Structure 1
Amino acid sequence: MTSPSDNPPLAHGFLPERLPAPRLSGAWTGLDALAHAAAAAPCREDARLLVEQACRSAELTVLRQRVARLSEHRARAATMRLAVIVAACGWTGLDPASPMSRRAVNEQFRTLWSSLAHRSDHPQFVALPTLSLLNWAPLRKPGRAMPVDQLARTESLVPIVRWSAGDQPLSRLDRLMLATVRLEAHGVWLFRLAETLAGRSAGDRSVSVALRRMTRIQHALHGQLRSSTVKLSLAPATGQQCAVLTSLAEQEALEPPVLLASDAVLGMGGRMGVGSRYQLRRHLPAQHRAWLSTLDRRSAAVRTLAHRRGPDADAYRDAQESLVALRCAYAELVRTAARPAAKGRPGTTRPMIRTAQRHRVALGGAA
């Protein structure tokens, strides 16, 4: 049976294997410039106008013909730029292959979108992982070669495509995305513990040790998110950025991959509905979805601790509770980022909060 650890890219969690491309070259520089302009646009109508202007120049048609020539690294970079443009234009709920998208989106742009989605086998890529995990760079070039997760943990980070104007401080949305990168980088240890637990029986002596380590790491990540929330609250925000977050939340496209990995091992008092898991994971690349599905299957024995008693079962429930707290801390981070535009209206993070509430109910039933 294939083990999650057989997939080398996950040595760095769901971070890319190498640093994201800081710029596109050749004919793709136009897409780079369009992404920067759309992200800094004051509203989605202005962002859509920028797309219309680019389509009139026919440069997007040229790019569509060159998608197949992109290296994997450059294809990921182009995908991120396109995801930024789609989010800025308010098209996050659209599938580029659907009839509705043909009516809402310029045909040249839609065709490029569809081609990049097909190239990466990643049709729902307009989500937080794409917007965050492929949109960062170290502030300074490190003096020595470092693994990408270590670099993201230790170096000062800046966004490649900013959601704020270049002469302005980083916005709340910029800081939210960078905090997500940090969460993923520090959460690499959770991926390694998940691989340790996969395939183990509930009576294995190593299970309780790994579960207690998982709880400690999740508590540390919780503290990291609380600190990020305080810093983020001091940053500026705009209505456009809050609209982007609202749109992503409506699509349930905010869950950080590292939390999905913890949930694949722990469950929440039992197996979640297939639809719920699919909804939360559909925006991940195919190889990552496959890895999580393998983890689901191979962690089934560990999840039987939900219905047992004793020290191992207590360690399992402690790990579950720390994951619920971590998800709530992340929801608070997103809520803080969205607060200015969400005043007097339903909270932007309601889908994530509903998920956390469902998990709490499940935990109570398991106890």
Structure 2
Amino acid sequence: MPDPGAHGFLPERPPVRTMTGTWTRLTELAAAAATAPDPDTARDLVARAGRDGDLTELRQRVSRLSLRNADAASVRVAVIAAACGWSALDPLAPASPRTADTAFLDLWSAVAHRVDHQFVGLSTLALLNWAPERKPRRHVPIDQLARAEALVPVVRWSPPEQPLGRLDRLMLATTRLEAHGIWLFRLAGTLAGRAPGDASTGTALRRLIRIQHALRAQLRGEAAELRAAPGSARQGAVLAALAAQGALEPPVFLAADAVLGTGGRRAGEVSRHQLRRHLPTAHRAWLTAMERHCAPVRTLAHRGGPEAAVYREAQESLIALRRTYAGLVRCAAGLGENDRIPVRPCGRDDRPSAAHWSGHVHAVSLR
């Protein structure tokens, strides 16, 4: 199992920026679908690629991809699925062929088998969809690269002749959040197995609070740039669909949640399993193990004394961090400060608009 303490849930190496050979067709299709004016236009592009045999040819080549290139293909497939309004589909489910292009579903299924996870979520759309604007002169750790370098998306949701839009900015902000959150993963390992009375538990929790405050400051720094970027109802609808299926939780928040917990979830909120289903198998296993190993720390919620107070402060700082991120999501979707993200799953062919969002009163795990 990979050690998230090394680089969080970022890839071990920068994502593949340019796919070669026949796979350039997938890159071109993803770019065209992402910038299409509406889901119907994006679906027509996919249908045309299916009729031309491009998707079948790609499916036949999936087994030849290296794991790194399979991740690159998964990003492009995820972008296409989200652009077409298919992000809630399971490509292996029997009902899926009735609602999406069959050739595309076959390609999606083959790629999903290759990378071993169902990947239409923020963890793929953000963490595998970035590149440094300029090539680094020397090798640097992946988290340092993502923190220090100017980043650009591999597949843009904005037309190439226009500035990056709010959805692109949100995805890049999420990547930088993960890079800045590397110490949270390392502290999670420190807290694993610690007893509530261990002298180092309180120290580690105080450090965790400082990290969460720093992450919140990082997000606040991203807010002005995000507000200044152009937005669109089309990109807001993509965010709405991801939010409705619980696919907008940054992985670094899931790691903090595995350590601290957040209490009982309110009625209508998506489950912890649903929040994690878009992650690779190894990452889901790590979160489950961390949740189990940190169970003694969470017993502080029912105790008194200084350590219990620090634990509750750590929980509160996580809630505040999630609220700050939710503010960025609302901004990217063109929503007001009091508008909330819906939790009711959209139907397979639903295409929620910004107006759809404003009628809901709950937030998706971003409390």
* TM-score w.r.t. length of structure 2: 0.91
Q: Secondary structure at the match of 1:170?
A: coil
Range with greater deviation from structure 2 (13-22 or 309-318): 309-318
One-letter amino acid of the structure 1 residue matched with residue 242 of structure 2: L
One-letter amino acid of the structure 2 residue matched with residue 62 of structure 1: E
Instruction: Determine the C-alpha separation between the residues in 2 that align with 1:68 and 1:309.
Output: 56
Contact conserved, 2:34 with 2:80, CA < 8 A, in 1?
A: yes
Q: Secondary structure at the match of 1:313?
A: helix
Partner residue of 2:110 out of 102, 105, 115: 115
Partner residue of 1:297 out of 286, 289, 292: 292
* Structure 1 pair 189–280 and aligned structure 2 pair: CA distance change class (3 A): same
Aligned to 2:128: 134
Aligned to 2:304: 309
Aligned to 1:355: 365
* TM-score w.r.t. length of structure 1: 0.91
Contact conserved, 2:236 with 2:354, CA < 8 A, in 1?
A: no
2:243 equivalent to 1:249? yes
Instruction: Determine the C-alpha separation between the residues in 2 that align with 1:223 and 1:90.
Output: 33
1:74-101 residue CA offsets vs partner (Å, 9 max, x unmatched): 0000000000000000001111112321
One-letter amino acid of the structure 2 residue matched with residue 87 of structure 1: A
User: Offset of 1:7 from its aligned partner?
Assistant: 2.9
Q: Secondary structure at the match of 2:8?
A: strand
Contact conserved, 1:86 with 1:126, CA < 8 A, in 2?
A: yes
Aligned to 1:361: none
Instruction: Determine the C-alpha separation between the residues in 2 that align with 1:252 and 1:128.
Output: 9
Instruction: Determine the C-alpha separation between the residues in 2 that align with 1:355 and 1:101.
Output: 27
Relative to total residues, which structure has the larger helix share, 1 or 2? Answer: 1
* Structure 1 pair 15–134 and aligned structure 2 pair: CA distance change class (3 A): same
Aligned to 1:88: 83
User: Offset of 1:106 from its aligned partner?
Assistant: 1.5
2:137 equivalent to 1:143? yes
User: Offset of 1:9 from its aligned partner?
Assistant: 5.3
User: Offset of 1:348 from its aligned partner?
Assistant: 9.4
CA-based RMSD:
2.0
Partner residue of 1:323 out of 313, 318, 325: 318
Contact conserved, 1:190 with 1:262, CA < 8 A, in 2?
A: yes
Residues 99-110 of structure 1: pairs in structure 2 closer than 5 A: 99-110=94-105
Partner residue of 2:333 out of 331, 338, 348: 338
Instruction: Determine the C-alpha separation between the residues in 2 that align with 1:41 and 1:111.
Output: 22
Contact conserved, 2:249 with 2:366, CA < 8 A, in 1?
A: no
Contact conserved, 1:9 with 1:17, CA < 8 A, in 2?
A: no
Q: Secondary structure at the match of 2:204?
A: helix
Residues 1-367 of structure 1: pairs in structure 2 closer than 5 A: 7-8=2-3, 10-123=5-118, 125-269=119-263, 276-339=271-334, 344-347=355-358, 353=363, 355-357=365-367
Aligned residues: 350
Q: Secondary structure at the match of 1:30?
A: helix
1:280-303 residue CA offsets vs partner (Å, 9 max, x unmatched): 111110000000000010001000
Contact conserved, 1:338 with 1:348, CA < 8 A, in 2?
A: no
User: Offset of 1:346 from its aligned partner?
Assistant: 2.7
User: Offset of 1:320 from its aligned partner?
Assistant: 0.4
* Structure 1 pair 287–122 and aligned structure 2 pair: CA distance change class (3 A): same
Instruction: Determine the C-alpha separation between the residues in 1 that align with 2:265 and 2:198.
Output: 21
1:116-156 residue CA offsets vs partner (Å, 9 max, x unmatched): 11112202x10111000000011111121100100001111
* Structure 1 pair 204–347 and aligned structure 2 pair: CA distance change class (3 A): farther
Contact conserved, 1:229 with 1:333, CA < 8 A, in 2?
A: yes
One-letter amino acid of the structure 1 residue matched with residue 241 of structure 2: S
1:28-47 residue CA offsets vs partner (Å, 9 max, x unmatched): 11101101111111111111
Flag structure 1 segments of 5+ consecutive residues without an equivalent.
Answer: 1-5, 358-367
Instruction: Determine the C-alpha separation between the residues in 1 that align with 2:164 and 2:98.
Output: 35
1:138-192 residue CA offsets vs partner (Å, 9 max, x unmatched): 1111121100100001111111111001110000000000000010000011000
Instruction: Determine the C-alpha separation between the residues in 2 that align with 1:195 and 1:79.
Output: 29
Range with greater deviation from structure 2 (94-103 or 21-30): 94-103
